[in-house]
Structures are given as C-alpha cells and as structure tokens.
Structure 1
Amino acid sequence: MDHKELVELDHQYVMQTYGRFDVDIDHGKGATLYDLAGKEYIDFSSGIGVNSIGYGNEKWVNAITDQAGKLGHISNLFYSQPYARLAEQLCRRSGMAAAFFGNSGAEANEGMIKLARKYSFDKYGKGRGTIITLRNSFHGRTLTTLTATGQDVFHNYFFPFIDGFRYAVAGDMSSLQEVAGHDVCAVMLELVQGEGGVLPMDPTYVHDLAVLCAERDWLLLVDEVQTGVGRTGTLFAFQQYGIIPDAVSFAKGIAGGLPMGGFLANERCRDVLGPGTHAATFGGNPICAAAAQVVLDTLDEDTLAQVAEKGKYIRARIEHMGLSSLGATRGLGLMIGVEVTGEESNKAMAARLIRNGLLVLTAGQALRLLPPLTISMAEIDKGLAIMKDSLL
C-alpha cells in the first residue's frame, strides 16, 4: 500500500473526526520514524505524549509478547500479577496509597470526579458535589470531562451538559474564592495546562490552593494525564510542587503506547470507592500492565534527571536560534511550549516542520514539544537542525 491508497482507504471507511497532516507513519526506532516511502522523521510529539520510551524498545516488545502468550485478559473478578505489581511500583514511587486502573485519560479523570463526589456524599450527604476547575484547562472528551474542561471552544455542539462544575481563573485565588460555595467538594487542575498552551502553574498558587482545600475539606484532584509518568522530569509533576494530592490521574505515557489510564488515591481516599461503585472491564489489562512495568523500570532516577536536562537543553537551543517567528519557551522537563510570534499560525508552522521531517504539536497559540523521554541527544540535535533550517 502506498500513501495515496492509505488516504483513500481512510476517507472511505473512517469517520473524519481528525484533522490529519498529510503524512503516514509506518514504523520507527528510538525517536526516529519512517513513512511508507521510507522518509525519515524526528519525533518531537511521541503520539501526544504516549510513546514515552520511544519506538521498538526491545524490553517493552518482549514484555508484551511474553504476557500475551500467558494471559491477554482476565476480568477484575480475579487476581493477576501484572496489575498488582504495577500498582505497587506506582504507589511506592509517588507516595500515594492505592491505584485504580482504566483505559484512558478521560476515564481516569471521571474516576477522580466520582471519588470526590462519593467522599463528600459519605461525609456530608447530598448537595455538596460541585467541582471547581480552571479556565483554559482540558480534562477529556466524555460529556463529564468535557464539562470539566474550562475552554468554551470544546463545549460547542454537545449541549446540554451535566451540572456540578464551576470555573476559576488559573493562578488567581480571588477568582477561586468567588466561585466557591457550600456545595463544593473538590478542585481539579493540571499543574501544566497542556492543551491550553503548556502553561505551568505558579508554585505559590498551588501551595495556597492545597491549604484552602485542606481547610474546607475539599479534595485536591491533580490531572496528570499529560504531565505524569516522567514527562516533567519527575514521575509526577506534583512531586516538584511540594504537595500530596488526594488523587492524581495518569494515562498517555504509562504503558508506552498501549491504552491504559487510571488514578492514585492518598490514604484517606483509598477506601472511598468500594465494590460495585466503580469499574472498568479492561482496567489493569495484563498486557498493558506488563508494558507499563517496563516503562517504570526504564524511567529510573537517572533517566528522569536526564529528562529534565534534555528539556533545558532544547529550550536553550531554541531561544538562542534567533528565529523571528519563535519567542520564549516554557514548560517542565520534556513538556515544552514555544511561543509563535510571527504572522504564520502555529498550525501552519507545525505543518511545515512536519513536511520537512520534524513531528511537532500545537497547543493554544504555541508549538508544543513532547519528545519520547528516551530521545537521544543526536536525535534532539537533528530535530533542532530541521527546526532552524525550516524557520530561517
């Protein structure tokens, strides 16, 4: 099959819900990808933060293959080793108490929402189920997580939405106080707003928010679907903010390319959801869990330190390119936003870079860079050279 045949097949049989770039990807190794014609691309996107340890990782492939030969799926009515071992690693390395496994980021955030509302119902009864989220946030595409998302652009077409959410201006405690009330049970936020433009939260604001939540017995829910699993240079971004959330969600990079998500709860919330209150048929799937164990083993402390250093290196190189079309950079670790300052839109710029062999993303008005966490320095330099040559 060639590129034209693939595009025709897609257009005939697949719902056209994605604005795809006119590029196909066939295979890859490390952070380098190839299309059907053999053209090479350096990947600064990792499948929107999913392919955390790159492509063709032998340990990851072997773990999946071995587990598939033993047990591909068994319902959560039975015990199996892979999910239990994964839960132990996640809890030990995060300081959290217990894990729930699902399949996606939206499902993980829905689980946290249910956790918060049940915690409040058990303690205070009905009428205390409102969750405050932040303007410019993104929490998923189910109706509930879409309602939680603080961007009107995502809300169109899908009315009516469910009740129980209010929005505060990010970084503004007075705005949060204005929307607070006796009916609030939790605050949910991203520590770096990814889809909103790669915007890190101010540490003082996060600290003050954590204090307020503790004072009012609101649960502090941290959405780490994009920032989690090593993306920012620590296993979870909250570990850089000096807080312990009541629950934290994860997905994207956890299984290195297989669909998996979930959330972790702290000690006081670990038993809120009992038997029959929440479930996921494929949650903790043995193959996905085996893949995730390889991801966590790969992301040891040395590798996480390298993630932070690689992020600093990329940002410094971009800022010193002297390109009139690019401005300041921001982010944490290998979650990087680059301001687009020229007349060309970030989407048009991304399309040009992709045509020239560098896969990038957009977010807000910025370019968004999410390379595999194991990307080599040689691949970084090759990708930055493509960026410079393309935008001169």
Structure 2
Amino acid sequence: MMENKETIIKEAEENVLHTYNRYQVVLDHGDGVYLCDTDDNKYLDFAAGIAVQALGYHYPGYDEALKGQIDKLMHTSNLYYNEPAAEAAEKLVRMSGMSRVFFTNSGTEAIEGALKAARKYAWLKDGKNDHEIIAMNHSFHGRSMGALSVTGNEKYQAPFRPLIGGIRFADYNDLESVKAQFNERTCAVILETIQGEGGIYPATEEFLKGVKALCEEHDALLILDEIQCGMGRSGHLFAWQEYGVKPNIMTCAKALGCGVPVGAFVLDEKTALGSLAPGDHGTTYGGNPFVCAAVSKVLDIFEQDHIVEHVQEVGAYLQEKLDALVDKYDCIAARRGKGLIQGLVIQGRPVGEVVLKSMDEGLIVITAGSDVLRLVPPLVITKDHVDEMVEKLERALTKG
C-alpha cells in the first residue's frame, strides 16, 4: 500500500539533506504531458523536470529501449567498449556537426570537462598555467566548484570561496564588455546560448557572432552551454544552429537522456585533437550502456518523429498566446524566449505566488531568476495543451 503524502514528506525531511525547499506535493507517475500525485491530482506539466522530459512520460519506444538494455547490460566502465555508447556518440556527433563527445553523468560535469579541455588546449600552446576564462554575469552553469566559478551570481558563489582562479566576468549581450575582459591570457569564453536561470535571455545574433570572432582572433575557445536550451527546445536541435555560430565546445544534458541522468561535452576537431588526452579526464559511470541506450533512442525519436519541426510550430503558437497575456494583464511585464523555452516577467506580486496558485489549478510551472515565470514544457505538447495552460494560468493570475 502506498504511504500517504504526509508520511512521505516527513520521511524525506528527516533523512534527505535540506538543500531544496520543495513544494508540498508528492508526484507519483506521469502520462504523456501530465503528472499525477499521490492524492490523485492531475497536473499539466509545463516544467518537464526542469527541461528534462522533452518527450513527456512513456513516449512510444523509449521505455522499451531502456528495459531492453537492462536485460542485457547496465554498466561496464570505460575500460571497455560498448555498443550503445558508440551508437549514441555517432548520432550526437553527426546531428551536432561536431567531432568528438565525452559522456558525463550531469550537466555540471559536462561544464567541468569543458573547462578542463579549454585549459589543456591553452597549456599545450605555451606550457603556462595563467590562462583565464571569461564568463557572463547572471549566468548559471552548475554547483560544483568549477561550474560555480563561472556562474555569475554572487548569491551562489559567496559561501564557497575561494573558487577556481582566472575567471573574469562580462555582461551578456554586451560585446564591448566582453572585449574589455580579453587579454593575452584569455583561453576561452563560456556562455549560455539562451540564459536560463538568469531569466530566459536569448543571445543576440550580433553578440554571439561578435564573441565568436573575438575567440578566433585570439585563438581562444568558445564554449556554449546548451544544457537547458539545447535538444530542440529553442526550435533548433541546438540553439546555436539558428545563429550559424558553431562553438569549439558544447555542453548538453537535461533532455539528452529524457529522464536518465546523462550529460556530454562535445568538441570540434581542432579542440578534440589539441586538448584532453588519455589520463587527463575520466568517469566511472559516464557513457555506460544504460544511459547511452536512452541517448541513442532519444536521438532516433528526434529524427524520426520530427520533434524540432514540431517545436517550431507549437512554439510559435505558444509565443502568440503568451504575448496576448502580456497585453491583457498588468502583472505580466514582458515575454522572453524562443520556441518552448519561454519566460514571463511578473511584476507587482511574487512570482512564487503565481507558481503555487498555478499548481492549485492543475498546472506545473517554475521560476527563473527573481521575477520570471519559466515555461519549459515537454516538446511534444500540442496547441490544445497550450490552450489548456493559458486557461489554467489565467485562473491562477486572477485568483484572490
């Protein structure tokens, strides 16, 4: 018999380290783009596990691929080859137009690997250890010490100093700010193609192309963090593809496995051949047969079921409906985003209040930054789901 909500919450609070202030709901199962809790309440999911569940829940063929791999082999380590990793790597390299992939367990670990690759690339050129990396203010790249060091948010950094050295910060979408931080020691620039946690800010074309040109001029590497905005969410498989600005290193995770914990950093040919070598980097679990079976199946589904094209169509409809909400409600100041990564700027009331009232209406949404309502639904939502979301959100906005 299933334990009741209060018992489960009490057990979690007594035994799990309190680093999250969780909502008072116990989610039990999912179906399509809906979630159900232990009290049999049903929610339209416009958070997707923080942009992870791109295919929703129990997408045809996904569960079967994982179950089949469980029956064969879960883990071997990277001391040996395995077929799912080889297949997943080939598909990811081909679909991204990059050269080599390193599978990790998370997005944060992908960032760590990308930073190490950039430092090694520079070290091989001159043998020095004084190289610097330029990151963006209001960015978010993860919680480990390296990823935290390039996360431009004092609130996250302050308790954990000293962080890794050689990091300079510039302002997102301000090319002159980036230029001002460049010097002969700069080995890389890291940024999100669309800032997520910072408030859903897409890069401008001028900015991204300008940063790429700066990197090429100085033989520095461009690292694009596609952990949240990649895997079709922006309306392109990877958001940088819309701009025609290919990075030297790309990080991805979240929807890469659609629920299975997996990330990757992907390198172009120049960087792959001129950075990490045997003994420089490793992982016990990363790229094991189980997670790579998920990645391989996800990439197949994206191609065969034309997921990106679907996002372009439904994303345009969502954007239209959100713009109408901006015009209708004084408490919504603006909309930002692309495709199915969208943010509504809430003014005059706490954004957290809107999240809670939305949950009361059977809608799951989350926040980004201090005042943005973040909508990152499964990529397989339909226009009818968008209409349902708008109806529920409007009730939440007008609720006393």
Matches of 2:298 and 2:155, distance apart in 1: 34
Provide, for residues 184-218 of structure 1, a one-character-per-residue CA deviation record: whole Å limited to 9, x for no partner. Answer: 10000101100000000110111011011001000
Q: What is the CA–CA distance in structure 2 between the aligned matches of 1:152 and 1:99, rounded to whole Å?
A: 32
Which residue does the alignment assign to 2:189? 187
Please tell me whether the aligned partners of residues 46 and 364 of structure 2 are also in contact (alpha carbons under 8 angstroms).
Answer: yes
Provide the alpha-carbon RMSD of the alignment: 1.2
The answer to whether the Cα contact below 8 Å between 2:317 and 2:383 also exists between their aligned partners in 1 is no
Partner residue in 1 for 2:77: 75
Task: Give the match's secondary structure for 1:57.
Answer: coil
Q: Which residue of 1 aligns with 2:314?
A: 310
1:114 and 2:120 equivalent? no
Letter in 1 for 2:286: G
- 2:38 is aligned with 1:36: yes
Q: Distance in 2 between matches of 1:285 and 1:370?
A: 28
Q: Which runs of 5+ in 1 are unaligned?
A: none
Q: Which amino acid aligns with 1:214?
A: E
> 2:103 maps to which residue?
101
Aligned to 1:196: 198
Aligned AA for 1:217? D
2:324 to 320, 326, 330: 320
Contact map agreement 1:128 1:185 (CA 8 A) in 2: no
Corresponding residue for residue 377 of structure 1: 383
Map residues 52-91 of structure 1 onto 2, 5 A cutoff: 52-91=54-93
Which of residues 280, 283, 286 is equivalent to 2:283?
280
Worse-superposed segment, 289-298 or 254-263: 289-298
Q: Quick check: 375-384 or 332-341, which moved more?
A: 375-384
Q: Which residue of 2 aligns with 1:361?
A: 366
Provide the C-alpha distance between the structure 2 equivalents of 1:212 and 1:22, rounded to a whole number of angstroms.
48
Aligned to 1:391: 397
Equivalent position SS for 2:160: coil
Provide the C-alpha distance between the structure 1 equivalents of 2:91 and 2:147, rounded to a whole number of angstroms: 27
Instruction: Give, in whole Å, the separation in 1 of the partners of 2:209 and 2:366.
Output: 30
Deviation at 1:327, TM superposition (A): 2.7
How many residues are aligned here? 391
Unaligned runs of 5+ in 2: none
Measured against aligned partners, the alpha-carbon deviations of 1:42-86 in whole angstroms (never above 9, x if no partner) come to 000000011111012231110110001100001111011101111
Q: Confirm whether residue 336 of structure 1 aligns to residue 372 of structure 2.
A: no
User: Is 2:128 the counterpart of 1:126?
Assistant: yes
Deviations 1:354-387 (A, max 9, x none): 2221111111221011001112333222222101
Q: How far 1:326 sits from its partner (Å)?
A: 1.6
How far apart, CA to CA, are the structure 2 residues paired with 1:215 and 1:129? 16
Moved over 4 A (4+): none
Q: Aligned pair 1:255/2:257, yes or no? A: yes
Contact 2:319–2:339 at 8 Å: present in 1 too?
no
Q: CA deviation at 1:128?
A: 4.2
Q: What residue is the counterpart of 2:140 in the other structure?
A: 138
Q: Which among 141, 158, 162 is matched to residue 160 of structure 2? A: 158
Q: CA deviation at 1:129?
A: 2.1
Identify the range of structure 1 (377-386 vs 144-153) with the bigger mean alpha-carbon deviation: 377-386
Classify the secondary structure of the residue corresponding to 2:61: helix
Identity %: 38
